[in-house]
């Protein structure tokens, strides 16, 4: 896949007002394996493709059914002006399913505006609890003037889409008059209030809306959405496309190094010194022989961290080459003696004891996408938690902040159960500093890992505690 040409084509489509939706196989390991047997050049890293599609405002659909619903919605309304959605129906169970199904989507189920609450109450009565999703029960259903009044009120409430959820029976096998009249009332309201909000007829099951009903909806300017999960996904995509278009920034593909057969693994001390020149805070440390560790530990001040340093040891924890929170000289000497079999040199470092969270911030070089950043939960549980996201170049501050918000570990940064809040501003700055470093060394950089990057309480910054850099 020629990424620059693909980016150019997507940009041109946007200038024409043409949104793009697609399916890309290979989310799972098995899926990537199957896809690789056919179109290996098009699969690649799934996380990078996800970031790529999101930056370009491309709707990546999970299934063919959700692709159809997304295309249908985009055909009728185009990208949605906001993510504010209202769903109403006559079943509390259906409305609960809407809430559950939408819980992992970026949709905004804002309350009905206070300015319209009394008007809505006049049509639905006092037994109905005014929420969003809105369970209108059945009292209003057969009172068609009030049903019409309700639709008129909701359509002027500034929702991107107001969706009426129904599952009519098959008209060839049952009397569907009550459904038909309720649907007709919605369509008449939309046709006469065409300057107001957009509307959808939503069925929980894909097969619930007949061809005749769908055609009536389309003729009236109402989009017929089929299948709850598919429809909510379509609404999510249509809103995200508009967000991407409003903050349009094309990805920059930095050409990857072609020959990575020979490169140098910098020592931790060298790696830290290099990043310090690009604005990173590193712990006080000194590289010394075993005989000097006690004296240097006293100079730095207890507690300290002791790390074995040798060219062949990149992941020191796996070799037993890291000891934390050493509180006195005897502990330092005993630990250094125990590590003497794996290294001659040791890094004596101040212990960062007030960390709010440990993150990983790194650089990988992909054959298609070139250098990209990774930000996520760090420390020894990086692989276990799998709470990380890819960032494409140019790295945008707004994108960094949104990525932090998406991470599960962000709960710690916000102050978990009374604990201090993390210095999120300093974290954002560190990500941007690493992006600057990457652009300066793009023609030589093979990889870089900062793990952990310790986020301290607000106002105290972040510290690159362990760093590994590979340069050609």
pLDDT in tens, 169-202: 777 777 788 899 999 999 999 998 766 789 999 9
94 with 240, same domain: the answer is yes
Contact 284, 349 (CB under 8 A): yes
Is residue 269 domain-resident? no
Boundary-marking domain end, from 199, 215, 246: 246
For residue 349, the tally of other CB atoms under 10 A from its CB is 26
367 with 221, same domain: the answer is no
For residue 15, the tally of other CB atoms under 10 A from its CB is 7
When mean pLDDT is compared across 179-193, 211-225, 306-320, 385-399, the lowest value belongs to 306-320
The DSSP secondary-structure symbol of 29 reads H
Is residue 275 domain-resident? no
Domain that holds residue 231: 76-246
Residue range 239-259, pLDDT digits in tens:
999 999 999 999 999 988 877
Contact 362, 374 (CB under 8 A): yes
CATH number at residue 314: 3.30.1490.20
| Total number of domains in the chain | 4
Q: What is the pTM of this model?
A: 0.86
d(CA 375, CA 358): 11
d(CA 188, CA 103): 32
Is residue 267 domain-resident? no
pLDDT at 319: 64
d(CA 309, CA 198): 64
pLDDT at 311: 72
């Amino acid at each position: 896949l020629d990424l620059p040409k693909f980016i150019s084509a997507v940009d041109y489509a946007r200038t024409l007002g043409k949104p793009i939706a697609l399916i890309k196989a290979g989310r799972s390991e098995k899926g990537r394996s199957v896809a690789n047997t056919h179109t290996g050049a098009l699969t690649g890293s799934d996380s990078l493709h996800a970031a790529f599609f999101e930056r370009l405002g491309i709707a990546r659909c999970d299934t063919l059914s959700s692709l159809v619903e997304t295309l249908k919605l985009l055909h009728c309304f185009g990208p949605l002006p906001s993510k504010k959605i209202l769903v109403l129906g006559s079943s509390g169970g259906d409305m609960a399913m809407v809430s559950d199904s939408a819980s992992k989507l970026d949709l905004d189920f804002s309350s009905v505006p206070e300015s319209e609450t009394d008007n809505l109450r006049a049509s639905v009565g006092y037994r109905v609890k005014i929420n969003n999703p809105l369970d209108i029960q059945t009292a209003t259903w057969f009172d068609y003037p009030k049903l019409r009044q309700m639709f008129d009120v909701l359509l002027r409430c500034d929702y991107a889409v107001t969706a009426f959820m129904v599952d009519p029976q098959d008209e060839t096998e049952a009397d569907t008059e009550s459904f038909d009249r309720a649907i007709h009332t919605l369509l008449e309201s939309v046709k006469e209030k065409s300057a107001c909000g957009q509307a959808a007829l939503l069925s929980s099951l894909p097969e619930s809306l007949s061809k005749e009903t769908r055609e009536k909806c389309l003729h009236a300017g109402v989009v017929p959405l089929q299948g709850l999960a598919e429809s909510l996904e379509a609404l999510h995509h249509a809103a995200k496309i508009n967000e991407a278009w409003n903050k349009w920034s094309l990805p920059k593909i930095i050409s990857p190094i072609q020959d990575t057969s020979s490169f140098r693994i910098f020592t931790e001390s060298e790696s830290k010194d290099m990043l310090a020149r690009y604005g990173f805070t590193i712990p006080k440390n000194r590289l010394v022989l075993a005989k000097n560790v006690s004296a240097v530990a006293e100079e730095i001040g207890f507690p300290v961290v002791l790390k074995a340093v040798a060219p062949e040891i990149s992941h020191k924890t796996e070799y037993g080459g890291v000891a934390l929170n050493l509180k006195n000289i005897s502990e330092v000497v005993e630990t250094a003696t125990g590590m003497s079999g794996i290294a001659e040199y040791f890094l004596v470092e101040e212990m960062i004891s007030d960390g709010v969270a440990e993150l990983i911030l790194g650089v990988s070089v992909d054959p298609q996408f070139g250098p990209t950043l990774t930000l996520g939960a760090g420390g020894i549980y990086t692989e276990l938690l799998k709470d990380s996201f890819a960032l494409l170049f140019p790295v945008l501050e707004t994108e960094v902040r949104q990525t932090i918000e998406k991470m599960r570990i962000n709960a710690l940064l916000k102050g978990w159960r009374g604990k201090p809040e993390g210095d999120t501003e300093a974290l954002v700055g560190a990500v941007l500093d690493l992006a600057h470093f990457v652009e300066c060394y793009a023609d030589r950089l093979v990889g870089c890992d900062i793990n952990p990057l310790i986020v301290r309480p607000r106002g105290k910054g972040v510290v690159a505690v362990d760093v590994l850099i590979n340069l050609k």
